[in-house]
Each structure stands twice: as structure tokens, then as C-alpha cells.
Chain A
Amino acid sequence: MRYAETGFNLEIDLSRGNIERVETDPRLTELYLGGLGTNAKILWDRVPPEVEPFSPDNLLIFGTGLLCGTPATGANRTIVTTISPQTLLMAYSMMGGFWAPELKYAGYDKVIIRGKSPDLVYLWINNDKVEIRDAGHLQGKGAIETAELIQQELKEPKAQVAAIGLAGENRVYYASIEQGRSSASRGGIGAVMGDKGLKAIAVRGTKDINIAKPVEYLELCNEVLEYIKFRNENPIPGVMPILRGLGSPQEMAVNDEKWHTTNFMWGNSRTRRRDFWTEEVEKKWAESMENARTRLISCYNCPMKCGATISMPGIPTYMMKCFSKLTYTMAAYSDLDFGFRIAQRATEYGVDAYSTPQVMAFALELYENGILTDDDMPGMPSDNEERFYWLLDRIVRREGIGDVLANGTYWAAKEIGKGAEEYAHNTIKKHEQLPLKLGMLNPVYFLMYATGEKINITQIEGQFPQAPYLKREHREAFVKDWFQVPDEKFKQYFLDWEFRGEHSNPYYPTVEMSCDIVDWQERMHYIDDALGVCAGLSSFPLKPPYHMHNYPSFISSGAGIDIDEAGLTQAARRNRDLVRAVNIRRGMRRADEKPPEDHWKRRFPELEAKLLDEYYKFKGWNNQGIPTKESLHELGLDYVSEDFLQRGILTDDENTPSKEIPAEAEKR
């Protein structure tokens, strides 16, 4: 019997209309755990680097984490993996909600989509019955609207639906996949779904998920719940309100937005408004929030309430979470009311709430500076907020200038030319980033921005405080019950970290310490992404209930796979290197690994080079960031080094590239 997982994948070929239920190899679970790990393995095996994002040979994989559907709190992540049309690298955006557990109960660990359907279709998975159904009547419908219509026509309100909106259908490079209160937004995976002619996947399951050692597993689950209770009652002092507790940043619950609005950038990630947060604003915004929010809501099997139902007068109800609350507002220099209103339309269209507002602000900046003109924007309204709606409508339809902007700031700037590239200033690996511009280089964040392969800072940071504490006594208090550290040395790193002087950024944490800290933070994300546990209960917040010390027991007692901390660290490294290998094979090199030029005012080129040199070494990668033959061998990834050798990416004598591969694949 298989434990925690079902042991079956669904293989769907949309070109031929073929559906297969395929048993998986349990040894792959032992090596790669599940979720992102096994997704990456499939992508490596079956999607060679020549395959373009919009090729029928590109795969779109909906993977559940190993622990999804078990009683482990917050194990509800769907990891969607494909090749991104925007970055041309591996995208592995994830979503919470209710979809992954439902798929497990239907009897599958993954849905693997290949080919392209000539007509728009949706997939209906009802336990053993799987159908490809016509979706012609859903063309152009909003993502949330689509989910409702499908539930109605199937007469199955309990079906969980992941759907794309107009943006996905029209292959907007930052289109999302929406699922009620959750979405998988980054990397343009919704565009690949649209390219495949797949409007939605509806799933309903009523089967059991088995646990290897039931009593032991339940004890672990109960401990996690107890610790969540403790952390809810004991917020962490000394950090901003949204980072004190567990879960995603509590954007839906917290009204105090001083930190975001005065520290993050407005417009096209340009202006810092240090004096923005006044009493008057606070009052008005609190009112907007209270009026809009009907209820705080959760994902499957999780007590945290990171999302909310938002009902604005005159527009349909939708659900929101996290920072999308502010991205539209701040891009447009507007207020919360506007943010809530436009986010409703954006959610139905199915677009990423990080990239989209930035692309629109970028377009308006180009217009203000004469690079885009009235000829490019015929009929654009004069009102600022109306312009954002106008641009959004055009982007998701790929109409006029919208067709150019639909590819994101990096590609749009190239196409527009006339110096537009200067304005596409906030991307990493061609993907728009959080609007954050700071003063002094932080060595830990430098490494995370540069090397994080999810290309999103929130998906690599966590665990270690973002900034030092002013007073030593507060630091001592902080480390006292910090049992989550994988090694005691992390406590000392934090204790000695100061705001000024010798032990401050950028030279402290030292290069060596920075490598350690980044490696720990990243490791936890890779484990979460394989197990399907929400980062908000593990890798993202300070002092989380899941950590390096209890995860091995969860895997052993839940899935019946014997594993200890060293083994789990090894598995996380294996997954991490495999994701890197996919991207290396697609041309990613050291030159691509850099934060936006203007991310910090004070940069230190020598230190930054040393940080990358040492981190690469620490990870067992060569000077180009390519995993070496030896380190791949250690991880049981010889098939990767063989491929690298064959392609000339590695050579036999030395582990340096013998063949130059253009770092920036400019294929369109």
C-alpha cells in the first residue's frame, strides 16, 4: 500500500484526447519526495531544452505535495510546473486552497498535461471517471465565474476548480491560474494553460488517503496545532505587525499599512513616500477594509485566516490574500478602494498581482516620457485610475499596445525600443519583482535575489529575521526559544548582528554566514514545496510550527519513508539541483543571477562577486552556477551530469563550460 500519496498520476494528452491513469515508481518518492521534486524530475526527463513554452511538447504539471490530503495542518499546496513564456525557464508557481487535497481524494498525485486541444476544453476528474469536456461556452469568462458555471453544470458544488480567465486564454505572459481564494500566479503558467486550450480542471474525490503510522502521525499533527495556538497567543515582538504571527503576511486582517506604504515604492517601483501614512489615511483605509471585507477565510485544513472575501458595492464578490491588497493601489498612486475594485477585475481576468500593476505603471511612465505616444494609446482616458482599467482591458485582450505589454516589462521594452529598456528596471530573469528599493546592500538578500529560482523573494526568504534587532537583550530574548534552527550557530549569527559598525551590513553576516543562512532558508522552501505544506506555516515566518527537526518524522510516519535530518537535507539539495539543472540546460548562467541594478543604492561589486563565488562553491556548483559532476554524483543525479557532458555544458577534465551558450535566450 502507498502511504500519504496515492501512487497514481493522470496523463492527459490534449492533442489526441487521450487519458491515462499511470502508476508511479515509489522509489521516485523516496528520492524526490513529491510535489516540486517529482514535478522537476518529470520536466527534466520529458521536456528537453529545445521545447518552447508554447509548444505542444511543453508539459503543464499540476502536482500535489506528498503530505497533501493527510491531516497535517496546512498541507494543501498545488505545485504547477511548466516552462515559462516570460523567463523561458522552469516556472513552478504554487497555490493553496482546496484543489490539491481534492485531487488526492480522487486518487491522483498529479495531473500531467501535454499537447494542445484544437478547441477550448475543460477537464472533469470525478474519482475514476475523467472526461475532457467542451468549454466553448466558457470562452472569455472570468476565472471565478468559470468555476461557478462548471460547478453548476456538473451539479457538483463540492468540485474544486482551477481555471484561467481571459488573460490565460490570450497567453498573457503573466497570466495566473485561479482557484477560489488562491492562485498560482508567477511565471505565466496561466498562459501555458491557455495555449493548451485548457480552460479549467474540476476535481471531486471521495477516496481515502492512508497513513503509515497513524498514532505517531496524529501526535505530530497535534503538536503542530498546539504550537500554532502558542504562536497565535505569543506574537514576536520587535518586527512589523504583518511579520509577528504565522501564515502569509496578515494583509487581510491588519489595517496598519505604514510599513508597506512608506517603505515600498509607488508607481513603476519609483517613489518612496515616507510621509504617506497619516492619521487621515489610516482612518480612511481602515474604513475601506472594514467595508470591503466580509470574512477572513482559510485554505484547506488550516486555522490561519490569510484570505478574505471582498464585497465592494456594485461589483461581484471575490477573494483576496496577501500583498495584492496594495500592488494596484501603489502602482497607481491611488487608495485602497481603487485597489479592491481593480483587483476584482484582475482576478476574473486571471493575472499576476505583482507583474500586472507594474507593467501598467511602466506603460504610463513611458507615455509621460514621450516614449509611448497618443498614437500608441488611442482613446486612453485622461483620469489616472481609468487609465489602469483601460490598460488592463487591453492587455488581457492583447489589443493594440496591450499586445506588447502582455509580454511583461522586459520583452515590451525590447519591442518598444527608444530607450524603454531603462524603464523596465525591476526584473530578475525577465520577471517583475516586488517594488522595493533600499539603501544598503544586505548580503543575505543579495544571494537570495540572485540565485532564487522561483524568482520571487518571498519564496526563498523566511526563518531568519530580515533585519537586526537594535538591542542585544532583545536579541537574546529572541534566540531563547528559537528551537527551529538546524544548527546552534545561527543563534550566534543573529546575536552578533548589529545596525551599525563592524557587525552590520554589508560585511556582516560574513560571506560564509550568508551562505549558511541562505542555504537554510532556501532548504525549508524546497522541503515545503515537495511536501505541499504552506510556506506560511513553515519556511516563510519566524519560528514556525514545521521545521527541520519535526519534518523527518512527518515523512517517516506519514509516508512510511525512513528519513532523518541528514536524509531530508540531501533530498532538498537533490530537488534544488534538479530545478537548477533544468534551467542550466535552458541556458541560465551566472550573468542572469543578479538583482535589479537599482535594488540597493549602495552596491559593492567585489563583495557581491565574492558572495556568488562562495555560495556557488558552498552549493557544489562551478563558477557559472552549474552543479559539478561530483556534487551531482553525490546526489544520485548522474543522469544530469551525463546530459551536461553530452551537451558540452560540463567537460570531463574540468567542470567549467567548454561551450558558450547564450545566457539570454532571445527566442520569441
Chain B
Amino acid sequence: MGEKEKKIVKTIKVDVDKCNGCRACEVICSAFHAQPKYSSNNPARSRIRVIRDPLRDVYVPVYAGEYTPAECMGRDKYVIDGKEYDECAFCRASCPSRDLFKEPDSGLPLKCDMCEDDPPLEEPMCVQWCLNDALIYEEREEEVEEEEPREEMEIGLEALADKYGLEKIIETVARMSESKNG
């Protein structure tokens, strides 16, 4: 058991009734996470996606959560107020069952980091750009078990390992460093 420590829990309250489907959240998310910052934008790289089906009045902004190497044993489908939502519509995982939350070129998983920045932003950019208040930022304090945070590279590498196998990655890294040194 680790130490107990105070932690800020960051929440984005998603009010689907207020969403107007404009996807400004996707635009600014992908721009914020571009390298260098704002140098490009591309909703396909966004860590928030509005699942929209206008004729059925379906508008669900979903944030990218954890990467998962395997899809679930079963899939869920929700019907709310008579509206049937897409399979796994509310799920945040970057998962093999769908193309959501993956870098379009590399297929590497994407994950919402609440626009981590230095100095920290008051609110994530998607919230700032949602003038219709479909996205509302909230913070609260909670006591949690201490946990070593994993680095972004490790998460990325894990995804690659799942795709190609650890062996292959070790080989590739060895070859790359050889050709660089050699």
C-alpha cells in the first residue's frame, strides 16, 4: 500500500443537450497538441471527438482515455430517450475495435491530458472554445493512493509492443542506434 496523498481530480462535465455539433473542441485540441503548439490542426488527431449523427440528434463529445491492447469481450449499445447511440459510443478507450483516438499516420494511441501546460491553463482549451457550455470544467480534491505516473513514451512504446511485439522493437531500436553511430 502506498502513501495517501491529496490529488486534484479534473473533470469535464459534458452536457450533450447543449452541444451544437460544431467540433470547435476537436479543432482547438488538435491545434494545442501540435508541435510546435498551434502550428497545425487536424481533427483526426484530436483527443476529443464529437460522435455525431445529426438526423438522429446524436451529439456525444467523448474524450480519449486509456489505450487498451484488446477489445472488450462484448460491446455495448445505449438507447436513451428513444435514441440509439453508436456501438461503444460513450467509451473513451483507444482500442483495436475502432479507429477513434489514434494518430492517423502512426496509429499510436491518443489520450486527453487536460491540456497540461507550463504555466498551467485555467481550463482545457476545448472547454474555453465551447461557447455553448456543452463542456464545463470542474475540479475537486480527493485523497488517493500514491502512484508512479507513467511517461508518455512508455505508453506509446507499450502500444507499439502490443502491435509488433517487444522483440521487434528491441531489434529496431538496436538497428537504429547502430546506423546512427555507425
Contact = CB atoms under 8 A, between A and B. Distances in A.
A295 B57 contact: yes
B38 A215 contact: yes
A652 interface: no
B54 A180 contact: yes
Contact of B27 (A232, A294, A301): A301
B39 A211 contact: yes
Interface residues of A, number: 42
Nearest to A232: B131
Interface in A210-248: 210-211, 214-215, 217-218, 225, 228-229, 232
B37 A229 contact: no
Contact of B55 (A207, A217, A229, A317): A317
B54 A208 contact: no
A209 interface: yes
Interface string A473-501: 00000000000000000000000000000
Given A209-B40, A211-B40, A309-B57, A228 B131 contact: yes
B55 A144 contact: yes
A365 to B, nearest CB: 36
Contact of A210 (B40, B44, B55, B129): B40
Contacts of A318: 55
Given A214-B36, A229-B131, A209 B20 contact: no
Interface string B36-51: 1111111111000000
Interface string B125-142: 000011110000000000
A298 B27 contact: no
Nearest to A306: B20
A626 to B, nearest CB: 43
Contacts of A417: none
B180 to A, nearest CB: 26
A299 to B, nearest CB: 7
B39 A148 contact: no
Which range contains the number of B residues in contact with the other chain? 20 to 34
A105 B42 contact: yes
Given A211-B38, A297-B20, A206 B104 contact: yes
A302 B28 contact: no
B14 interface: no
B40 A303 contact: no
A71 interface: yes
A205 B43 CA distance: 9
Contact of A301 (B22, B53, B54, B55): B22
Contacts of B56: 317
A610 to B, nearest CB: 46
Interface in B125-172: 129-132
A421 to B, nearest CB: 42
A73 interface: yes
B24 interface: yes
Given A144-B55, A303-B132, A206 B22 contact: no
B57 A298 contact: no
B20 A298 contact: yes
A107 to B, nearest CB: 11
A305 B41 CA distance: 23
Interface of B: 20-24, 27-28, 31, 34, 36-45, 53-57, 59, 104, 129-132
Given A206-B104, A303-B20, 8 more contacts: A105-B44, A180-B54, A207-B44, A208-B45, A210-B39, A214-B34, A215-B37, A217-B38
29 contacts: A70-B41, A71-B28, A71-B31, A105-B43, A206-B44, A207-B42, A208-B45, A209-B42, A210-B40, A211-B31, A211-B40, A214-B34, A214-B36, A214-B39, A215-B38, A225-B129, A229-B131, A232-B131, A295-B20, A297-B20, A297-B54, A300-B22, A300-B23, A301-B23, A302-B22, A303-B130, A316-B55, A318-B55, A319-B55
Interchain residue pairs A-B with the least CB separation, the first 5: A214-B38, A206-B44, A303-B131, A206-B104, A298-B22
